[in-house]
Amino acid sequence: MELAIKNSGMSVFDSFEKSSSNLNYVKFKGGDFTFGKDEDIIMDDELFMADMASLAKGFICWKGRKPVDEQMATYIDVENGNASFPVEKELPDHSPYNSDKGEGWSEQLKIIFYHLETGEQFQFATTTVGGNRGIGELTKSWVKEVRRGNLHNPVVSMAHWMMPNSFNPKGSAAPKFPVHSWAKDIDDAQEKAKATTVKLADPTVV
């Protein structure tokens, strides 16, 4: 996924101040986003600020049902010349791998969301086609705004859609992040949320 954004004096990746030191790890399975050891479900009427400055691409290595290595770079570091995206052929070898258990290196995308009510951080990382597509569509929406001169971050909900595939005629549940509004930072997003009489506005058409 390439952003292909021309910068004109101001960073399109300006990040807002972190409002919480607690990081919740988000999982997606069967159409539900969950987090924590109790796998609490994130409801589709909850709003989050997507921190586009945290968007990272790279690889993660699984072995023995756990991650043993991770090589990632954020788009902001690549844009500023402080890093480059990992190259698969240059990744360290942790073999032997059991391919039947999905061991080895996989491409990964990662991004952090901020809950508008609590300010907590929620990190979503994915190696799946559906997950990559979900983040990719969110990023495309953001890029359109940047090219219009809007350097704000998207306010989103966490939902799903049925992605067609060759194994299931009805498709399989895949993540999506409908954009509901745009805000310059977490405080701006929270103020806009308080000002509306409806908790969840209709997603904007992008």
Per-position b or e across 135-147, b if 16+ CB within 10 A of its CB = bebbbebbbebbe
Pick 102 or 1 by higher pLDDT. 102
pLDDT digits (tens, 9 = 90+) for 16-72: 445 445 799 999 999 999 999 999 999 989 999 999 999 999 999 999 999 999 999
Task: Provide the whole-model pTM.
Answer: 0.84
Q: Among all chains, which residue has been given the structure tokens 């990081």?
A: 23
pLDDT at 196: 55
Provide CB contacts within 8 A for 25, sequence distance 6+: 35, 122, 123, 125
pLDDT at 4: 47
pLDDT digits (tens, 9 = 90+) for 124-160: 999 999 999 999 999 999 999 988 988 899 999 999 9
pLDDT digits (tens, 9 = 90+) for 88-112: 999 999 999 999 999 999 999 999 9
Q: Could you give the CA distance from residue 160 to residue 148 in angstroms, rounded to a whole number?
A: 27
Residue 3: pLDDT over 60:
no
CA end-to-end span of the chain: 18
Give the confidence band of 2 by pLDDT, cuts at 50, 70, 90.
Answer: low
pLDDT (mean) for 70-96: 94
pLDDT (mean) for 153-180: 91
The closest alpha carbon to 110, from 190, 179, 50, belongs to 50
